[in-house]
Amino acid sequence: MADDGEAQRLAEDARLWGHMLHENSLLFSGNNLFLVGQSLFAVAYTTLLASGEHLTAARLLAAFGLLMALTCMFVCHRQFHYYRVVQNRAHHRLPEFAATRATWARKPIALLLITYGLPLMAAILWVSLLFVT
């Protein structure tokens, strides 16, 4: 019986660890996709602006780029908080993970910059471009 309980606990720990890795991957891959989309919008914007004839279309692209940045900020905010919940569960359940986190007692600055900084910078860029054109 004790072996079954231990096997079940190990399986639960493995699922929790896999869940945390999955959420981490979602957080970073979502931001990568966002950056690619923003880059394509920026290229399209500059192409339209360089032609000189499509100022209205360039402004529309800037407005959509801003909406995309704000949407990304909202989605990243929710994903970041969910990831933190799963990470805290893993911290309390998995001793090796807790020990590693204890030795790295720093704030998740990089994660915060990726979650909030990148969408905020993109939003500032698009607002600035809307005012310039």
What pTM, to 2 d.p., does this model score? Answer: 0.82
pLDDT by residue (tens digit) across 22-56? Answer: 998 988 898 899 999 999 999 999 999 898 888 89
**Cα 16 to Cα 4, 12, 97, 107, distances in angstroms:** 18, 6, 11, 22
pLDDT by residue (tens digit) across 75-91? Answer: 999 999 999 999 999 99
Q: How many CB atoms lie under 10 A from the CB of residue 104? A: 7
Which has the closest alpha carbon to 40: 17, 16, 24, 64? Answer: 64
